[in-house]
Structure 1
């Protein structure tokens, strides 16, 4: 087994008396494409929000590339309200903000596309590139950082070439077909030079042809940039086609994990999730 890139340990996310994620533990290894699936409201995006620093978990920890980056335990009013497991196991508080998580090497996209609609394709990617900028305000004021700016633009254009978006570089992002907007959102995430890419329902709103193109695009991104991909997705054809392993959660709790073939034949998963789609 290759090295662990991401390790989520006993993570519980509780909002007041509502437990959205309940004692979630999972691993993603280097070079894998791993999917997290489950019914609507199962806690998938909440888990992503914990991993990316949007929420501090109520309890549990997250490790990235062997380093503990997120950790928390029930404190204050939550000590009495806490309804999860492993209450006394964690005693360290690490609550990095999303920008710090991004700088560590974790990038993500969102279920609802969040491009800068009035900016061009190139400008959208350049904004992400600035996250890695080394120059300070003083240097920016006196144009000392022009070499860094030039290099960022060159790198952004090369990224667009690799991803077959170069010809669209001067187009406003809002003018792109929906499928290309999805590709651009992934390109913008790649501009932060991550080693782990989180995709939150990348096929949402795509037609069958666009979904097939996205499947090839994700594989290309993984292989071209030597990335690890962790993905939430409802489109089962995409999930089963592209995933090395799959985790399934229901009501915030893990109910199964395994290869696509194992998941397709897991009766508990069929009853909780896959069977619903077939009945409809």
Structure 2
């Protein structure tokens, strides 16, 4: 992915297999979020392809990619702050509505039935992620950690097969990070979810990842299991630097 004369991501090849939690890590400015933006259709790559379940999704718009089963969160929480927890999740659920605006405006029977079913599904989702008791709370009133959980729940409401998390632990204290670690594990198991995440909190990454890819200056410098990555000299150098020769 190039922006003018700047190559943000160069010759990146990676695989996220069904049922895995895969992490993309690297120093600030390594190209991680750019890679996410390419996968989700925010950017069209300068060259190369994005394949999802064997289908080329490279030129698709973000909403089409979401409909195919890829959902994401953002480093900066993007909730509808003045809406309730339930309303935030309902908005995402509307992606799969079968009836149109006309039917909804006229309160036609099939539209009312679908809306009722949708609300039940959202309540079931909130129960699974531990937010059901907060469903009528305004999103902005929630503690930071629960706002992050809600953002992830809203992504789950689109019925994804692949969930992309962009620095989900950003801004969290150790207790919140620990709770998030368990939360991601639970949703992976509860929803049979495949997770692809960017994260700087290495304790979280090393505890839950099946595979890790490491970017530095837009280049893939390492890939492997958590144990392999922790011992990789290129990764250590990228994060800690190396002494210059005298």
Could you say which TM-score interval applies, normalised by the shorter chain? over 0.9
Aligned residues: 240
SS at 2:8's partner residue?
Answer: strand
SS at 1:59's partner residue?
Answer: coil
More strand by share: 1
Q: Which residue of 2 aligns with 1:20?
A: 8
Matches of 2:241 and 2:94 in 1, distance apart? 45
Q: How far off its partner does 1:221 sit?
A: 0.4
1:54 corresponds, among 30, 42, 50, to: 42
Q: Which residue of 1 aligns with 2:204?
A: 238
Pick closer, same or farther for the CA change 1:258–1:274 going to 2, 3 Å: farther
5+ residue gaps, structure 2, are none
Q: Which residue of 1 aligns with 2:119?
A: 153
Q: How far off its partner does 1:273 sit?
A: 1.6
1:42 corresponds, among 30, 35, 44, to: 30
Q: How far off its partner does 1:265 sit?
A: 0.2
Matches of 1:236 and 1:219 in 2, distance apart? 16
Matches of 2:140 and 2:79 in 1, distance apart? 8
Matches of 1:249 and 1:161 in 2, distance apart? 37
Matches of 2:202 and 2:29 in 1, distance apart? 17
Q: Which residue of 2 aligns with 1:252?
A: 218
Q: Which runs of 4+ in 1 moved over 4 A?
A: none
Matches of 1:138 and 1:158 in 2, distance apart? 28
Pick closer, same or farther for the CA change 1:240–1:275 going to 2, 3 Å: farther
Q: Root-mean-square deviation (CA), in Å?
A: 1.0
Matches of 1:275 and 1:242 in 2, distance apart? 26
Matches of 1:164 and 1:130 in 2, distance apart? 22
2:82 corresponds, among 102, 109, 118, to: 118
2:167 corresponds, among 191, 201, 205, to: 201
Q: How far off its partner does 1:142 sit?
A: 1.6
Q: Which residue of 2 aligns with 1:143?
A: 107
SS at 1:256's partner residue?
Answer: strand
Pick closer, same or farther for the CA change 1:178–1:275 going to 2, 3 Å: farther
Pick closer, same or farther for the CA change 1:244–1:220 going to 2, 3 Å: same
Of structures 1 and 2, the one scoring higher in RCO (CA 8 A, sep 6+) is 2
